Each structure stands twice: as structure tokens, then as C-alpha cells.
Structure 1
Amino acid sequence: MSSVPFHYVDLRAFCYATEDEKRVESALRTYLPEEYPIERAESEGHYGDRIVVLSARVENADEVRQVLSQVATLDDIDDVRAELDDRVDENCSFFLTLDKQAAFGDEVRRGDGITLRAKVEAYPAKRENAVENARDLLAEL
């Protein structure tokens, strides 16, 4: 596989006041290349509770491939491929949510807690082309 038909992959996880930030960061790192920088932003919930947003944007082709290779290990990756029509929007972005708790234990599962958004290359930039490019890549991984 010479190129990756994704411009970038964004990963984001929220760390709520009841969670350990190091554990949430560890869960996010399950999908990231080793020592990849993670951005941290503090926010406040509706009732004044602390929320830390941890995020990373992966743009290098080899690193994007590494993130997507982790995603490809999902037990139900065939279901993800079948759902691509629903997972790619009109802006050629692919969305998937991943289980934060499982990721802390180095498991890759779909669930809640980690949001993956990947911008799919498509020329011309049409949803149908993006779906096909994403399908081709996920079939190769």
C-alpha cells in the first residue's frame, strides 16, 4: 500500500472529573503512534465540573496507516465496512466511536468514549468517491 487515501485522522476523548486523566490518555494512546503528542484543553461542564478534552491529529501517511491498522483489528470491521454509507458525510469525513474503557486495557472495540474522525481523500470531493476510497483502504488493512 503506497498511499493512504486519508488527509488526516482526528482522535478525541473527554476526561470527566470522575476519571483519571492519565488513564484516559493511555486509552487514547492505544490508537496513536508511540510518543505522539496529545493536546489538552480544559473546559467546564453544565454544573461547573471539570472536563479535559484530549485530542490528537495524525497527518503523516505512515502514522495515519498505523492508526487505521489499529481500527482494522476490530472484531466487527466487516460491519464498519458495510456501514460506510452511513459513516461518511457530505464533507468526506469518516466517523467512528471507540470504547474508551476497552482501549485502556489495550483492546480495540467499538463503543463510546473515543471519537475518530478521518478526512477521506476524494477527487472530485464527493461523498460516493470518499466511501469507495475508505472501503478500499479498510479492505487492504
Structure 2
Amino acid sequence: MSSVPFHYVDLRTFCYATEDDKRVEDALRTFLPAEYPIERAESEGHYGDRIVVLSARVENADDVRHVLSQVATLSDIDAVRSELGDRVDDNCSFFLTFDKQAAFGGEVRRGDGITLRAKVEAYPAKREKAVANARAVLDEL
């Protein structure tokens, strides 16, 4: 994969009051290069409970390749390829969610808990072009 047709990749997860911050951060790090900075933002739930939002934006091409190499380990990557039309929006963003508990164990599996949003390069910025570019990358994985 010589060129990467993504402007950036955002990864985000929430750490609820009943979860251990370090474990949730470790789950997010499953997708990131070593020692990659993670931003923390504290918020409050409806009943006053603490929620920590952990996020990272990956913009460097080598780091984006690292994230994509983790996505490539999905056992159902073919299903992701077939769903691309539903996973790319009109703003040329590609969305995928991962199982937070599995990620804590070092496994990459689709599910809920960790959200990946990748801004796909598309000139002109049309959804169809973005789908084609995302498909080209996933076909190389």
C-alpha cells in the first residue's frame, strides 16, 4: 500500500464510570502505533456520572497504514468491503466500529465501543469517488 487515500483517521471511545481508564485506553491502543498520543476529555452523564472520552487523530501516512493493518486483521474484512456503500457518507467519511472488550484483549473484531472514522480523499469530493478509493485500499489489505 504505497499511497493512502485518507486525509486522517479518528479513533474514539468512551470510558464510563464503571470502567477502568487504563484498560479502555489499552483497548484503543490496539489500533494505534506505539506511544501514540491519546486525548482525554471529561464529561458528565445524565445522572452526574463521569464519562471520559478518549480519542486519537492519525494523520501521518505511516501511522494511517498502521491503523489499516490492524483493520486488515478483521476476520470478516470481506463483509466490510461489501458494505462500503453503507459505510461511506456524503461527506466522504468512512465509518467502522469495533468491540472494545475484544480490543482490550488485543483482538480486532467488529462490535460496539470503539469508533473509527476515516476521511477519504476524493477529487471531486463525491461519495461515489470516496467509496471507490476506500474499496481500493481495502482490496490491498
Question: What is the deviation of 1:2?
Answer: 1.9
Question: Which position in structure 1 is the counterpart of 2:127?
Answer: 127
Question: Which position in structure 2 is the counterpart of 1:32?
Answer: 32
Question: Which position in structure 2 is the counterpart of 1:118?
Answer: 118
Inter-partner Cα distance in structure 2 for 1:2 and 1:102: 30
Question: Which position in structure 1 is the counterpart of 2:84?
Answer: 84
Aligned length: 141
Question: Which position in structure 2 is the counterpart of 1:16?
Answer: 16
Inter-partner Cα distance in structure 1 for 2:129 and 2:72: 20
1:59 equivalenced with 2:59 (yes/no): yes
Alignment TM-score, normalising by the size of structure 1? 0.99
Inter-partner Cα distance in structure 2 for 1:127 and 1:120: 9
Structure 2: unaligned runs, 5 residues or longer: none
Question: Which position in structure 1 is the counterpart of 2:100?
Answer: 100
Inter-partner Cα distance in structure 2 for 1:52 and 1:43: 6
Alignment TM-score, normalising by the size of structure 2? 0.99
* Runs of 4 or more consecutive aligned structure 1 residues displaced over 6 Å after TM superposition: none
Inter-partner Cα distance in structure 2 for 1:73 and 1:47: 38
Inter-partner Cα distance in structure 1 for 2:128 and 2:68: 20
Question: What is the identity, as a one-letter code, of the residue corresponding to 1:7?
Answer: H
Question: Which position in structure 1 is the counterpart of 2:140?
Answer: 140
Inter-partner Cα distance in structure 1 for 2:92 and 2:65: 18
Identity of aligned residues (%): 87
Question: What is the identity, as a one-letter code, of the residue corresponding to 1:8?
Answer: Y
Inter-partner Cα distance in structure 2 for 1:97 and 1:45: 22
Q: What is the SS of the residue equivalent to 1:119?
A: strand
Question: What is the deviation of 1:38?
Answer: 0.1
Inter-partner Cα distance in structure 2 for 1:123 and 1:17: 43
